[in-house]
């Protein structure tokens, strides 16, 4: 069984949705925060960076990094069809966008929501936040341009779309994002047609 350490509406959402959509045997442990905002102590022994998602695999080993988890899960459930497998057409684009979402958009999101963690300047947070918002807008535009008139980046629902849908929910103004990029709304609605994804969104109170 997989154990996913999670927090509602956080980066664990896409991993949880993919596990559910693949029909994996998994359980979710929703982490609580201590009064100082840090996660419970036992979690540090599992992930020294104390970040969600953290995934414990059926063999007991620990995985961090949401994009890597999603690529791995797709490979464990090839019949579910949420990624082109190595050697199949579309594999390069699958890897490209999976890593783009993690490295570019997820990164900008973290700087937007936790700007103080990205500067040693006591007055620097506002600048970090403003630049993150600017970069996020550009990164969504690049993604939307590549998506063009398709509903799914690779032509059929894949882990990339699930990841992108989660990231859309973190946009500072999702309505404005969808007004600027109607194809992102089309993609989002198409991802949410998947019943397993819908259930995970609901469990996360999204």
Rounded Cα distance between 58 and 190, Å, is 31
Minimum Å distance from CB 159 to ligand GSH?
13
Q: Is 4 left (phi over 0), alpha (psi -120 to 50) or beta?
A: beta
DSSP class per residue in 130-188 = HHHHHHHHHHHHHHHHHHTT-SSTTSS--HHHHHHHHHHHTSS-HHHHHHH-HHHHHHH
Q: What are residue 26's DSSP bridge partners? A: 2
- Contact region with ligand GSH (CB under 6 A), list: 46-54, 71-79, 87-95, 183-191: 46-54
Nearer Cβ to ligand GSH (24/190)? 24
Rounded Cα distance between 45 and 135, Å, is 34
Is residue 52 a contact residue for ligand GSH (CB under 6 A)? yes
Is residue 72 a contact residue for ligand GSH (CB under 6 A)? no
Q: Rule CB under 6 A: choose which of 2, 11, 100, 166 binds ligand GSH.
A: 11
Number of Cβ within a 10 Å radius of residue 76: 13
Closest CA to 84 of 76, 93, 53, 5: 93
Is residue 112 a contact residue for ligand GSH (CB under 6 A)? no
Closest CA to 51 of 33, 64, 68: 64
Is residue 66 a contact residue for ligand GSH (CB under 6 A)? yes
Q: Rule CB under 6 A: choose which of 5, 82, 94, 106 binds ligand GSH.
A: 106
- Contact region with ligand GSH (CB under 6 A), list: 102-110, 126-134, 140-148, 192-200: 102-110
Nearer Cβ to ligand GSH (36/149)? 36
Q: Rule CB under 6 A: choose which of 43, 53, 105, 143 binds ligand GSH.
A: 53
Residues engaged in binding ligand GSH (CB under 6 A): 10-11, 51-53, 64-67, 102, 106, 110
């Amino acid at each position: 069984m997989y154990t996913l350490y999670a927090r509602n509406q956080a980066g664990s959402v896409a991993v949880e949705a993919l596990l559910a959509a693949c029909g994996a045997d998994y359980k979710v442990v929703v982490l609580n925060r201590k009064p100082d905002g840090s996660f419970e102590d036992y979690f540090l022994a599992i992930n020294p960076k104390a970040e969600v998602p953290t995934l414990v695999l059926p063999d007991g080993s620990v995985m961090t990094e949401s994009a890597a988890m999603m690529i791995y899960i797709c490979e464990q459930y090839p019949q579910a069809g949420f990624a082109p497998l190595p050697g199949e057409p579309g594999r390069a684009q699958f890897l490209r966008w999976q890593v783009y979402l993690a490295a570019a958009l997820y990164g900008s999101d973290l700087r937007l929501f936790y700007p103080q963690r990205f500067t040693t300047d006591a007055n620097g947070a506002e600048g970090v936040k403003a630049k993150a918002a600017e970069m996020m807008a550009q990164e969504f535009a690049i993604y939307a341009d590549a998506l063009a008139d398709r509903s799914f980046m690779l032509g059929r629902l894949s882990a990339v779309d699930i990841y992108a849908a989660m990231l859309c929910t973190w946009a500072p103004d999702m309505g404005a994002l969808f007004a600027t990029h109607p194809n992102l709304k089309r993609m989002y609605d198409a991802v949410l047609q998947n019943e397993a994804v819908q259930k995970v969104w609901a469990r996360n109170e999204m």
